[in-house]
Structure 1
């Protein structure tokens, strides 16, 4: 069978015959499969079969089957041992990688042969060959690391005794766990979309390479299938983490975003992947996802949700070609410009943010800020139940008090002065209260959080769902 460079197939659904009998029922998991082209972003793409299960994405090379067992481009018959002499190169060594070993109950298998390097030049070694001897010495019982050392120290002229194992193909295919994986269509670090292509990166740093699809419809289908699996697995992991936390401390959201970073030596921003987590009263950013509960305490950035503004960036306001962007700005810190892959994911974050706001404000209950009112020192309190109140003097006597629903507007000078416009219940007249606060931004952000939480809590179903999460 000859593989065409333009060969591509629609996505097929198969049944994994991993049958589990439970109370008379048979569980069969779905496997999606189809042909794609994969490259490292620089070299010419090669055709591979993409296999997708709920938890795993794998890319498999197709073996070329021909009438002749001695076809120059294909591996030899399995039954024969061969001796192959390799001349080690100064750059690249033997030019091959191995997998397997005694600890895996597998032979030492050639997993990769590097183009134009020593092993490739022989024309007699293939991916899937098991190395039986090195310079006449058996290595079939060696652990992987011992085999690596034997090959490394075998001298400049190395004689390998090998035998091809077709059954090793599944072990040698590239496999990537989808738990908290990162899926993107963008060229890494930029705002440039790939043409009909995407990449998946796993928790362990393994990348699929750039996966190319011939048709936009097939690309969209693969992206949806893979993303849905990643989101589903990440949600399950979130539930497992939440078993360790009280209601007000639970995780509302976790997933990948990209942060725009301004570099001093260039006029445009680059992007770095960050793992975003909304937990209890805090929003966190990680360089890599937390692998356990203890890892959650090791965030790169931590802000209080009730002191942070979340704003979706309008399409007309984006700074470059990245879409689906939003801003996070916490009091006393520079705003962070972030983006996600899809509109759907952006809305998921927005909904989770509103949920986190309600959770954090209910837990906080009340917050008091030092203010000045008509030249007198006082405290402006935001209270989840009571609303706004101003107290003055050593005895903290209440000067005035309004419910959140009575606020009709506000204005400030961007420095310290704030005007709050309330409507009197009886007269319906607007009453303006003038205050000064040295941490004005913090007060405004917290006020916005309380008001957002109050609006969200008007919907009883929404509030109930937040408290039960």
Structure 2
């Protein structure tokens, strides 16, 4: 609040303008909401979701009102009270810090049609496959959830750097592609599984889970960055299947692995 006036409905520019035209003596009243710290600026997608939820509530209330008017007086009272007490119920709650959002069918390079899945950092909890009405709704939901995941990840990474003093450049999920074998013959397709890739200090970390979830920083494979070679695959002819945003990661003299970034198209971008 500024001088007793709520400004929660104002954007940044409007709030600054209101401050500029205020009296020389300004009284501010602040409300701290730690959960919203990583993503204080609402996106258009969030506004769209809130609008859709409000519209749905209005439809539900209208339907309840129409049903109530067709019954007896006693039933009218009961139905109206029931509609008034209706609310959204949580079907499942997925922690989003270092969560994995994927549109691919499990282990394959095939995209689901207007659908996605969210898994928590441990891989033990999943939203199940969420189907959207159209491509626009899918894009809105995926961007909204991804923005929250990245915001929470950034906060945790900063806390780690403050606690340990080590510079952390990237922590995020990648997909590791492995060639399946039938006997001694390798199949012409890859099976994909999620892994965690991190750049911390002068080392590269390759883990099953994010640090602090299934293990600490020493719980996975650790390689000096100077012994690694990372190459982004740009041309379609270099890709081994339909997965996009791929790169190869070669460590010293070991055989090159094949990976896909899950949360960023460029592994040099920290999350």
What band does the TM-score fall into relative to the shorter chain? Answer: 0.5 to 0.7
User: Quick one: which of 223, 236, 247 aligns to 2:155?
Assistant: 236
Contact 2:117 2:130 in 1 (8 A): yes
Correspondence 1:250 to 2:255: no
Matches within 5 A, 1:276-291: 276-291=197-212
- CA offsets, 1:119-145, max 9 Å, x none? xxxxxxxxxxxxxxxxxxxxxxxxxxx
Correspondence 1:193 to 2:198: no
User: Quick one: which of 142, 149, 160 aligns to 1:223?
Assistant: 142
- CA offsets, 1:377-430, max 9 Å, x none? xxxxxxxxxxxxxxxxxxxxxxxxxxxxxxxxxxxxxxxxxxxxxxxxxxxxxx
The CA distance in 2 between the partners of 1:237 and 1:26, in whole Å, is 22
The CA distance in 2 between the partners of 1:285 and 1:200, in whole Å, is 21
Q: Which has the larger radius of gyration?
A: 1
Q: Which residue of 2 aligns with 1:400?
A: none
TM-superposed deviation, 1:319: 0.3
The CA distance in 2 between the partners of 1:245 and 1:261, in whole Å, is 34
The CA distance in 2 between the partners of 1:307 and 1:262, in whole Å, is 24
Q: Which residue of 1 aligns with 2:12?
A: none
The CA distance in 1 between the partners of 2:109 and 2:215, in whole Å, is 33
The CA distance in 2 between the partners of 1:218 and 1:321, in whole Å, is 23
TM-superposed deviation, 1:326: 0.5
Contact 2:121 2:213 in 1 (8 A): no
Structure 2: state its 5+ residue gaps: 1-8, 10-26, 37-41, 55-59, 72-77
Q: Which residue of 2 aligns with 1:174?
A: 92
TM-superposed deviation, 1:202: 1.1
For 1:285, what is the secondary structure of its paired residue? strand
Contact 1:258 1:338 in 2 (8 A): yes
Distance change (3 Å), C-alpha of 1:292 and 1:173? closer
Q: Which residue of 2 aligns with 1:310?
A: 230
Distance change (3 Å), C-alpha of 1:50 and 1:183? farther
Higher-helix-fraction structure: 2
Structure 1: state its 5+ residue gaps: 1-14, 16-21, 36-48, 52-61, 70-75, 80-165, 353-469
Matches within 5 A, 1:29-428: 34=49, 67=68, 170=89, 172-204=90-122, 205-246=124-165, 249-265=166-182, 267=187, 268-291=189-212, 295-299=216-220, 301-316=221-236, 317-341=238-262, 345-347=264-266, 349-351=267-269
- CA offsets, 1:310-351, max 9 Å, x none? 100123200000000011101121111001247xx122x135
The CA distance in 2 between the partners of 1:260 and 1:200, in whole Å, is 20
- CA offsets, 1:143-187, max 9 Å, x none? xxxxxxxxxxxxxxxxxxxxxxx77963x4211121111011111
Q: Which residue of 2 aligns with 1:98?
A: none
For 1:240, what is the secondary structure of its paired residue? helix
The CA distance in 1 between the partners of 2:174 and 2:159, in whole Å, is 22
For 2:142, what is the secondary structure of its paired residue? helix
Contact 1:340 1:346 in 2 (8 A): yes
Moved more, 212-221 or 321-330: 212-221
Contact 2:197 2:204 in 1 (8 A): yes
Distance change (3 Å), C-alpha of 1:323 and 1:292? closer
Contact 1:323 1:341 in 2 (8 A): no
Contact 1:242 1:251 in 2 (8 A): yes
Higher-strand-fraction structure: 1
The CA distance in 2 between the partners of 1:168 and 1:334, in whole Å, is 55
The CA distance in 1 between the partners of 2:209 and 2:136, in whole Å, is 31
Corresponding residue pairs, total: 210
